[in-house]
Structure 1
Amino acid sequence: MSRFAVALVCAACLLGCSGDRQAREQIRKVTRRRTGELQRQARLDRDEDRAAENYDGADFAGTVLSNAASSFQRASFDSANLADAKLNGSFQLASFVNADLSGAELAGSFQCACFDNASLVNATLSGEGSSFQAASFVAADLSGASIKGNFQCARFAGAKLVGATVLDSGGPAFQGMDIDGSWFEGADLSKITRRTLESCFFGTPPSYDEETRFPQGFNPRRQGWTSRRAQ
């Protein structure tokens, strides 16, 4: 596990173990602050120590990218076409800003990777040991995506998860996520625990509709979520 993930996992575990609501709120604040610090450091690392691999705008549609012989850490795939591609390996701190990953399969290590404004429509983010801790999906489109892996403290602010399915990976896999203003209409969140979902934080309420499925015992209205009618 990377140095970025250790503190996040510890905080997420605390969130999951704490049965006291007030204690969870305090730990959530600490987690949010620590997440912001780590993601800012990740951006600085990407800017200051960018690897020679630059694939901005490249066409990898339908291809397999694996680092059996090399690493894609800190590589840049901004605006690249990765539709239906298979990414398996080490992509820590890699950048996929504005990339097309629709229908792609992502399995491997993507800790602190950046998927801001990327299209991951119907993508599969999963695989044994897949890690997306502190990854950023700001304003990304994950409609219809299947999501399973370690996403502790990942950032989904403004992301579309309409019709997405989030599967339980066990442990604190989805705790402490930033879901500020995220869209969950028609999403299936029933496979994760109530406490996991309660550990996520936001300023602008995430939205849901009558087709959104939640964990047993989770009350979205009580947690401050916004209800919208299904279209």
Structure 2
Amino acid sequence: MSIQYTSLNSGSNGNCYYVGNDQEAVLIDAGISCRETEKRMARLGLSMCKVKAIFVSHEHSDHIRGVAVLARKHQIPVYITPATLQNCYLRTEAIEAIPFLADEPVQIGDLTITAFSKWHDAADPHSFVVACQEYKIGVFTDIGRACQNLMRHFSECHVAFLEANYCEHLLETGRYPYYLKNRIRGGHGHLSNREALALFAACKPDHMSHLLLSHLSKENNCPNLVRELFLAQAENTQIVVASRYEETPVFTLQMQEAVA
């Protein structure tokens, strides 16, 4: 059995991450349009029929823009907390909205999805770990700071999507207004390159095969800059920068067959 994963889009213009095994898959957020999600999955050879659930991290538009149409068209249940649902203004007619709780696993076929709370300026924000057998893939974006929960989950992952949103120098000297700079770096906004790298260096397990650097700022970061920073400490982990303009390739984690 294998587990596949890709970023369909990553950035303030839309976030959508795919994780699936041979039978079923889930989307973590759906922040690009239904049509664009379908097009990108088709280009990658991924079937929408395998997608059995959408998990919503929080209510910001770059994470929910495509949820309603996608869920209605393909009859996909949406896992979302009540507080997030109340604050996101989704059109919920003909949508199956299912609440979830932090630290309580949800079973989708052979996939186990566990949410945990994170620091972000939203009503009830969560990160997710998708597990299949003993293999774990984490989706860790929109994080104001690296809490103990994040550190623990990151240290267990075989693959992680990790936010590296901004370069501190580029943010400080850039054109954003002061209030927005403070929102981004104020502990409930986003992780800087330096903060993400510190987490990676301190908590990366030896078995982490891929790190997909995610949610890079268009204005306050540079893909080549952040890639070089992480390559210096990558060792046996492959570093991929997830694009805000297109999907990444599909990566496959081959799982060992259980011995009878």
Query: Is the helix fraction higher in 1 or 2?
Result: 2
Please say whether Structure 1 and Structure 2 have the same fold, judged by a TM-score greater than 0.5: no
- Greater share of strand: 2
> Normalization by structure 2: what TM-score?
0.30
Report 1 or 2 for greater relative contact order, CA contacts < 8 Å, sequence distance ≥ 6. 2
